[in-house]
């Protein structure tokens, strides 16, 4: 065999090896969602590609047989062709034995480099970039190869199946798409510029509806504007002017005895008709939806849909009203400030390293804004105020603070034991913080992470500093 013939055979083997590499990586890297989209657009090859992904055993058998056979043939042809020519050339300047050894090493390096570059690295990289595009083009030739080498494929395929069953390994690809898969795709899309940040965040918020309770989106009890059944006309008018809302709960005696709600449109209609407003009139009061405070936002949406309402009162296990929630509150959780008024914004970024956050802000929103992976005892609270209470082990006071995760959470304003505003400062990463700490009127001390540690701190606290826990 001449040198020209050997080189031609090597080029053919490199091309065949590149084809096999493309076939292998494109099948493994192709996204089923993208193939489904191509099939819906009328490409029949995409449907066959999905079927091949579901049962890839024979396909990969052909790939492995081809790769190993081509590698062996390449070594034989390359060593026999290039090594001899190089040995003959080098013999002009060095002894025959040395020329043979050097020629062999050079030919081995050249052949190996050609296969690595043009039969592996380049085709595999291209296959990772456009897997679906390449898969539908190599699928038919690969099916021909599976037919031609069917006896070999059957032999190795059956042995492989037996080994997989013996070892108890899965023999089918798991095509189930999880929430994490979808969120990862949307994050990649946002980084690539395909999705806007707001769109990606809205999608992530939708998946959080199953885990966030209604308490994270409700209007708190102390912020509810409501009417009493026996309120006179002038009191109702004054309250509407002072606190204009679209819906008002109606209670009998106090807020915990709710009997229904009244729509502001019905009240305005009476005002426009110069009629007195009296909540003793049952025609004004509508039946209100009552939901427990442990429901998730998804469950609340389901109840809104069932009763065709967009307003509900929230009761705890003691039948006390803890808040109200509207459809707009739930949508605000999903869409953020796209539907929330500016004056109700709960998280305000002051500069690059500080935030002013309302105490009732859901802790999931705080973690997302601060890019925190987790917080201690997350199952014990749902809001930033709850986080501070759990960490301090008492009702927080003004200037109390907690250091955790590279941030300082300082209480700025407290109204009747309710935390109104919390200033969050990003700490210097070079400053050592050996543990989470609290500061306040009782000085600086470590946060107890166990009942024993809490008891020890209580015993060591002087009486004039007040208790650690209420």
Residue pair 259/251 in contact by the 8 Å Cβ criterion: yes
- Is the domain of 414 the same as that of 288? no
* CB-CB neighbours of 19 under 10 Å: 18
- Is the domain of 187 the same as that of 291? no
Q: What pLDDT score does 103 carry?
A: 73
- Is the domain of 19 the same as that of 89? yes
Q: Is the pLDDT of residue 448 over 60?
A: no
- Is the domain of 131 the same as that of 8? yes
- Indicate the angle between helix axes 131-148 and 122-129, nearest 10 degrees: 120
- Is the domain of 150 the same as that of 12? yes
Q: Is 11 helix (H, G, I), strand (E, B) or coil?
A: helix
Task: Give the tokens for residue 302.
Answer: 């389901």
Alpha helical stretches, state H, 273-399: 297-307, 327-335, 363-370, 384-392
Residue 470: inside a domain: no
Domain boundary at 282, 305, 337, which? 337
Q: What pLDDT score does 99 carry?
A: 76
Q: How far is CA 247 from CA 36, 96, 286, in A?
A: 46, 101, 10
Q: How far is CA 19 from CA 147, 148, 324, in A?
A: 17, 16, 64
Q: Is the pLDDT of residue 441 over 50?
A: no
Q: Is 314 helix (H, G, I), strand (E, B) or coil?
A: strand
The one-character DSSP state at 109 is: H
- Is the domain of 14 the same as that of 134? yes
CATH of the domain at 399: 3.30.465.10
* CB-CB neighbours of 13 under 10 Å: 23
DSSP β-bridge partners for residue 446: 437
Q: Nearest-CA neighbor of 252 among 230, 222, 284?
A: 230
Chain segment 162-187, per-residue pLDDT in tens: 888 888 877 666 667 777 778 888 88
Q: What pLDDT score does 102 carry?
A: 77
Residue partners of 360: CB distance under 8 A and separation at least 6? 220, 346, 383, 384, 385
pLDDT > 70: what percent of the chain? 85
Q: Is the pLDDT of residue 313 over 90?
A: yes
Mean pLDDT of all residues belonging to the chain: 80
Which one has a higher pLDDT value, 107 or 344?
A: 107
- Is the domain of 37 the same as that of 162? yes
- Is the domain of 43 the same as that of 154? yes
Chain segment 248-300, per-residue pLDDT in tens: 999 998 999 999 999 988 888 888 888 888 888 888 899 999 999 888 888 99
Residue pair 365/208 in contact by the 8 Å Cβ criterion: no
Dihedral sign, Cα of residue 307, residue 311, residue 315, residue 320: negative
Alpha helical stretches, state H, 193-257: 197-208, 233-242
Residue 264: inside a domain: yes
Q: What pLDDT score does 436 carry?
A: 47
Confidence of residue 434 (pLDDT cuts 50, 70, 90): very low
Residue 172: inside a domain: no
Q: Are strands 289-292 and 311-315 parallel, antiparallel or unpaired?
A: parallel
- Is the domain of 374 the same as that of 291? no
CATH of the domain at 266: 3.10.580.10
- Is the domain of 155 the same as that of 299? no
Domain boundary at 314, 337, 360, which? 337
The C-alpha atoms of residue 411 and residue 364 are separated, in whole angstroms, by 19
Q: Is the pLDDT of residue 228 over 60?
A: yes
Number of structural domains found in the chain: 4
Residue 173: inside a domain: no
The C-alpha atoms of residue 244 and residue 198 are separated, in whole angstroms, by 30
Residue 174: inside a domain: no
Residue 351: inside a domain: yes
Q: What pLDDT score does 423 carry?
A: 92
Confidence of residue 395 (pLDDT cuts 50, 70, 90): confident
Q: What pLDDT score does 430 carry?
A: 61
Q: Is the pLDDT of residue 111 over 70?
A: yes
Domain boundary at 283, 310, 337, which? 337
Least confident residue range of 121-130, 198-207, 270-279, 302-311: 198-207
Q: Nearest-CA neighbor of 391 among 399, 153, 380?
A: 380
- Is the domain of 25 the same as that of 147? yes
HSE, CB side, 13 Å, CA atoms: give it for residue 138.
24
The C-alpha atoms of residue 55 and residue 172 are separated, in whole angstroms, by 7
Residue 56: inside a domain: yes
Residue 432: inside a domain: yes
Average pLDDT for residues 370-399, to the nearest whole number?
86
Structural domain range at position 148 = 3-167
Q: How far is CA 295 from CA 1, 156, 212, 291, 325, in A?
A: 80, 55, 8, 7, 12
Q: What pLDDT score does 454 carry?
A: 42
Task: Give the tokens for residue 363.
Answer: 């802790």
Which one has a higher pLDDT value, 174 or 400?
A: 400
- Is the domain of 17 the same as that of 49? yes
């Amino acid at each position: 065999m001449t040198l020209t013939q050997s080189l031609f055979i090597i080029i053919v083997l490199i091309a065949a090896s590149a084809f096999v590499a493309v076939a292998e990586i494109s099948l493994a890297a192709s996204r089923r969602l993208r193939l489904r989209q191509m099939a819906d657009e009328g490409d029949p090859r995409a449907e066959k590609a999905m079927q091949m992904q579901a049962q890839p055993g024979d396909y990969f058998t052909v790939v492995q047989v081809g790769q190993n056979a081509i590698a062996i043939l390449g070594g034989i042809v390359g060593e026999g062709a290039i090594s001899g020519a190089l040995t003959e050339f080098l013999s002009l300047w060095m002894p025959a034995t040395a020329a043979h050894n050097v020629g062999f090493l050079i030919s081995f390096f050249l052949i190996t480099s050609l296969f690595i570059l043009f039969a592996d690295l380049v085709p595999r990289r291209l296959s990772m970039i456009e897997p679906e595009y390449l898969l539908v083009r190599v699928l038919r030739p690969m099916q021909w190869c599976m037919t031609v080498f069917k006896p070999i494929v059957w032999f190795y395929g059956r042995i492989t199946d037996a080994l997989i069953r013996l070892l108890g390994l899965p023999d089918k690809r798991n095509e189930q798409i999880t929430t994490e898969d979808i969120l990862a795709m949307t994050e990649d899309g946002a980084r690539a510029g395909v999705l806007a940040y707001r769109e990606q965040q809205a999608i992530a918020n939708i998946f959080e509806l199953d885990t966030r309770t209604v308490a994270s989106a409700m209007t708190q009890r102390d912020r509810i504007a409501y009417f009493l059944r026996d309120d006179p006309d002038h009191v109702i008018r004054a309250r509407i002017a002072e606190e204009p809302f679209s819906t008002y709960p109606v209670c009998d005696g106090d807020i915990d005895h709710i009997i229904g709600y009244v729509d502001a449109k019905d009240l305005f209609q009476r005002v426009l008709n110069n009629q007195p407003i009296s909540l003793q009139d049952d025609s004004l009061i509508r039946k209100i939806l009552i939901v427990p405070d442990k429901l998730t936002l998804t469950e609340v949406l389901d109840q809104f849909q069932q009763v065709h309402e967009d307003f509900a009162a929230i009761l705890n296990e003691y039948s006390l009203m803890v808040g109200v929630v509207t459809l707009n509150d739930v949508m605000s959780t999903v869409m953020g400030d796209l539907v929330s008024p500016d004056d109700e914004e709960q998280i305000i970024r002051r500069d690059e390293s500080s935030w002013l956050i309302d105490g009732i802000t859901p802790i999931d929103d705080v973690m997302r804004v601060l890019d925190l992976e987790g917080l201690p005892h997350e199952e014990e609270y749902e809001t930033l105020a709850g986080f501070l209470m759990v960490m301090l082990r008492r009702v927080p006071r003004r200037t109390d603070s907690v250091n955790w995760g590279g941030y300082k959470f300082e209480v700025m304003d407290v109204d009747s034991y309710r935390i109104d505003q919390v200033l969050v400062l990003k700490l210097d990463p070079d400053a050592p913080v050996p543990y989470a700490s609290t500061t306040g009127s009782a000085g600086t001390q470590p946060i107890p992470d166990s009942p024993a540690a809490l008891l020890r701190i209580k015993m060591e606290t002087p009486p004039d500093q007040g208790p650690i826990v209420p």
